[in-house]
């Protein structure tokens, strides 16, 4: 697989952009698995993968296809969790998007769970680069813990 990583990356990101939610769901699962097991080769393709992945995550913000959203957030979680230094290129957009998912009222508990897991991976990967976002993150986490009917119940 590593020998053909360019072709495989192109194939998978094209599937992320497919109009079918089932295809997007499978592509999200694939991106997540590649991010876990084809390291660092697949992660080195972040300049190709992240723009597509972020666009899909953004486009799904109003989706009613929970499983597709969950698989896409799983993909984001696995991909960003291993980016190391390159996370700085995407940090602002990732934090903003994931905080939006966590705070959204129309998503299921499972979607919010994957958004929190992805946020946790992002924070862990960002290390000291997360400091400028601390106040906003603390407000979101406080709201989760204190709101009745929140994900924390």
Average the pLDDT over 93-122 and give the result: 95
pLDDT band for position 101 (cuts 50, 70, 90):
very high
pTM: predicted TM-score of the whole model, two decimal places: 0.93
Average the pLDDT over 60-73 and give the result: 96
Report the C-alpha dihedral over residues 106, 118, 33, 75, rounded to 10 degrees.
50
Is 153 inside a domain boundary?
A: no
Is 152 inside a domain boundary?
A: no
CB-CB contact of 79 with 49 (8 Å)? yes
Residues in Cβ contact with 5 at an 8 Å cutoff, skipping those fewer than 6 apart: 38, 41, 42, 45
Is 122 inside a domain boundary?
A: yes
Domain limits for position 38:
2-146
* pLDDT at 106 > cutoff 90: yes
Find the CATH number of the domain harbouring 142. Answer: 1.25.10.10
Is 12 inside a domain boundary?
A: yes
Is 101 inside a domain boundary?
A: yes
CB-CB contact of 102 with 139 (8 Å)? no
Mean of all residue pLDDT scores within the chain? 94
HEC string for 125-138? HHHHHHHHHHHHHH
pLDDT, residue 145, reads 86
Is 8 inside a domain boundary?
A: yes
pLDDT, residue 113, reads 95
Q: What is the pLDDT of residues 46-56, one digit of tens each?
A: 999 999 999 99
Residue recorded with tokens 């360019």: 6
Is 151 inside a domain boundary?
A: no
**Structural domains in the chain (count):** 1
Distances (CA, A) of 102 to 17, 143, 144: 23, 10, 8
Is 105 inside a domain boundary?
A: yes
Average the pLDDT over 31-44 and give the result: 96
């Amino acid at each position: 697989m590593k020998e053909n990583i360019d072709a495989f990356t192109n194939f998978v990101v094209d599937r992320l952009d497919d109009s079918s939610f089932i295809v997007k769901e499978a592509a999200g699962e694939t991106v997540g698995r590649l991010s876990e097991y084809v390291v660092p080769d697949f992660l080195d393709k972040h300049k190709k993968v992240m723009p597509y992945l972020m666009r899909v995550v953004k486009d799904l913000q109003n989706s009613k296809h929970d499983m597709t959203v969950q698989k896409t957030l799983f993909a984001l979680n696995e991909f960003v969790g291993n980016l190391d230094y390159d996370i700085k290129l995407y940090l602002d957009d990732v934090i903003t998007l994931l905080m939006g998912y966590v705070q959204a009222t129309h998503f299921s508990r499972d979607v919010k769970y994957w958004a929190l897991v992805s946020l946790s991976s992002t924070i862990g990967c960002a290390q000291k680069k997360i400091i400028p976002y601390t106040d906003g993150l603390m407000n979101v986490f406080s709201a989760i813990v204190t709101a009745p009917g929140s994900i924390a119940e």
